[in-house]
Amino acid sequence: MKKLLITGASGFLGWHVCQLAKHEWEVYGTYYSHIIEPPDIKLVKVNLTDFQELKHIFSDIKPAAVIHTAAQSQPNFCQTHPQESSEINVTASNNIAGLCADYSIPCAFTSTDLVFDGLNPPYRETDAVCPVNIYGEQKVMAEVGMLERYPMTAVCRMPLMFGMATPTAKSFMQPFMQSLKEGKELSLFIDEFRTPVSAITAAKGLLLALEKVNGRIHLGGKERISRYDFGQLLVDVFQLPAIGLKACRQQDVKMAAPRPVDVSLDSSKAFGLGYQPLSLREQLQDLLST
């Protein structure tokens, strides 16, 4: 089996990619602070911001392909720690693209729907980027830098992702469900829209992009939905008490990082390549049955 290097294997998306990829690849997953021991995956501790360590990993493993999911992906943290987050989000990403170019191997990178300002959705790959927060700015810089160094990179703009908790990471679903189960109030935005997918669906999209895409691709779902309406869907599918679910607006919540209103993705290019997300209800029902 060919070797696939997955950065950020202990992260929410990285863990799901590892689980899916191990059926087709010999998977090597990198971690830094959160050690996990998934079966059938070889884990490597590496500081991705140290270029010498990174070079050593490539020469040691000799991967046939790379999926780069490692990131500092909390917009509020990036807003308050721009230098620290830039080292992993921009510098390390550029270095990974450069090494993939040196080895002439496929590379897929996870960018974000937050590269857009939310004013002209749904967004296609060719639409101009205009991020409203530092996390989005860093992902734009990574996209540009990686494609300059290695035009064969598949730059995958990911939507909001949900799924069951992994050994070291949760999605936004878990605290939502916990609050409702405990009868606490859960206020969700009625004026923030995304095109979410499950992490399992996203992982399938990344593996498809690794094989078929050079340049930018959107891996969003087929439904545009607000956080509040997603909360209602969770209540329905998981049979949760709905009494605490309340509607609010972005302006009601103070956050370090500004948020765009509607970064719905037009993913028809990916759909044409065989990326086929189920409906949100079906994806949630699949999680319920696992």
What integer pLDDT is reported at residue 183 of this predicted model? 93
Predicted pLDDT at 146: 98
- Which residue ranges does the chain devote to CATH 3.40.50.720? 3-161+196-218
Listed in order, the ranges of the chain carrying CATH 3.90.25.10 are 166-195+224-264+280-288
Is residue 265 pLDDT above 90, yes or no?
A: yes
The residues that bridge with 30 in the sheet, in sequence order, are: 44
Residue 36: pLDDT over 90: no
What CATH architecture is 3-161+196-218?
3-Layer(aba) Sandwich (3.40)
- Percentage of the chain surpassing pLDDT 90? 94
Reply yes or no on whether the pLDDT at 37 is more than 80.
no
* Section 192-198 average pLDDT: 98
**pLDDT attached to residue 123:** 98
Q: pLDDT tier at 11 (50, 70, 90 boundaries)?
A: very high
Q: Per CATH, is 166-195+224-264+280-288 categorized as 3.10.105.10?
A: no
**Residue 81 dihedral angles phi and psi, to the nearest 5°:** -130, 60
pLDDT digits (tens, 9 = 90+) for 100-152: 999 999 999 999 999 999 999 999 999 999 999 999 999 999 999 999 999 99
Question: Is there a contact between 138 and 90 (Cβ–Cβ < 8 Å)?
Answer: yes
Residue 283 — very low, low, confident or very high, per pLDDT cuts 50/70/90? Answer: very high
pTM comes to 0.96
